[in-house]
Amino acid sequence: MGGLWRGGWFEAEEPPCCSVRVAGNDINVPLPPEVFNLLPIRVWQYLAVITLMASLVVGQVCCFYAFFASRDLISRLVFDTHQELEGVRIRKPKAKVESRGAAKKTMIVLGSGGHTAEMLRVLKHMDLAKYRPRCYVVSGTDDMSADRALRFEKERQEGGLDPGQADPGVFDIPRSREVGQSYVTSVFTTIRSLVASAAVVFVERPALLLCNGPGTCLPVCVALKLIRPLSSKIIFVESICRTRTLSLTGKIVYHLRLADTLFVQWPELQASYPRATYSGRVF
């Protein structure tokens, strides 16, 4: 065994080396000390931490993608089997078929500021008689969006536009990540937000989820897909300010296929994301 080798800040019993296989034989090629002296030790430590965090994020994304892909495959197999069994069953009464057009319980996720304004404008152009009862989800620190949602529903009731709609519920969930919060602590706040979202979804059990961009909607989307994967739909409307690329939330929803339909408001954006749908602009 050789003596202690010292190269800059690196110490080992032997010089560091890399193994190369040549003609079936492993040859150890010593690395020159200059390799480790290119950067200060503090920089190497930062690079190691960044690499570790990046690998954890990539691993989580891959796990989510694998989970939802397998879930979709199983759902498709179950649906196809159910359709085959339906073919040999006696047809249901006509009243049962007509019930498909009944109003759907709808949950709406409101962001803050412009996100809330866009979502309320989307709601104004919808036939809300088909989407009731309705409830809203806002972040715990966003009192303005909650007030605007209640005012919107009150104006509709006073104007006789939706007399069948009961007083809507507004649910607060904690933010997944506050502005300026570190990514390490955001892991725990995201888990807390996911648990709160799962509780709201489990109690309300919506058939349709409408959201339009804020990070608040991510845990709600995941919770709905986990709790009601076959009997619910998710509609995601990207913000009008996204003209070339999707927002971070939009990219996660798009690549993980969380939304059944993802609307964009610019044709150039739809060209970059072919699974998205362009149907015009909200404003």
H or E, element range at 251: helix 248-255
The residues with which 71 forms a beta bridge, in sequence order, are: none
Whose CA is closest to 108, among 94, 125, 122, 95?
122
44-71 burial code (b ≥16 CB/10 A, e <16): eeeeeeeeeeeeeeeeeeeeeeeebeee
Instruction: Split the chain (283 residues) into runs of 10 and give each run's mean pLDDT.
Output: 44 53 61 63 78 76 70 66 49 42 87 88 89 91 90 86 76 81 77 91 94 86 90 93 91 92 94 92 77
- Residue ranges per structural domain of the chain: 5-38, 103-278
In CATH terms, is domain 103-278 a member of 3.30.565.10? no
Strands 10-12 and 5-7: antiparallel
- Give, in order, the Cα–Cα distances in Å from 71 to each of 10, 62, 74, 206, 207: 48, 14, 5, 19, 18
> In terms of pTM, does the model score above 0.85?
no
